[in-house]
Amino acid sequence: MAKTISAGFTDAESVNQSSKTTFVYKDISLFFTRNPVSGDVTEVTDVQDIKRSVRNLVLTNRFDHPFHPEIASRVREALFEMFTPITINIIRNAIEDILRIYEPRVDVTDIAVEDPEFNYMDQNTLPIKIFFTLKNAPETLENVNVVLERIR
């Protein structure tokens, strides 16, 4: 007996591996590698796509998106301030705001900002780890590592 697929949802569930959703998030790979079967640009799906989107939103500066200067995190603005608990809190709030507004697929659970006094000031970097859950799979905790760098 042949299995019938109604509107492609059964196929999407097998790719997504989540019982809560039938939608697959897809985007092209920014490495522009070639798919060996189709010869087209490879795709990233689901969690990889969302992680890349989170990283891109956090690293976005004002005017990076043409005609949309409002899509920007205020994280880089805080990099030139003195690192105090207030500055770290500003960075956390900026990340939470940009993800809450422009990435509706995630719920941010925690943002871990490394202590900048711990050997990072010499390298002009600030490691941040963003923990989140997907709205369609809230039982799985994902994380993204972002390294903020001061460019001189």
**Long-range CB contact pairs, 39-47, < 8 A, 24+:** 45/15, 46/15, 46/16, 47/134, 47/142
Q: Tens digit of pLDDT for each residue in 109-122?
A: 999 987 656 555 55
Q: What is this structure's pTM?
A: 0.71
pLDDT band at 58 (very low <50, low <70, confident <90, very high): very high
- Number of H helices and E strands in the chain, helices first, is 4, 5
Q: Does the pLDDT of residue 70 top 90, yes or no?
A: no
Q: Tens digit of pLDDT for each residue in 4-43?
A: 433 433 333 334 455 555 556 666 666 677 878 888 877 7
Q: Does the pLDDT of residue 148 top 80, yes or no?
A: yes
Q: Which residues contact 88 (CB under 8 A, 6 or more apart)?
A: 113, 116
Q: What is the pLDDT of residue 45?
A: 67
The mean pLDDT of the chain is: 76
Average pLDDT on 89-106 reads 92
Question: What domains lie within the chain, and their CATH numbers?
Answer: 25-149 (3.10.450.40)
Average pLDDT on 127-141 reads 89
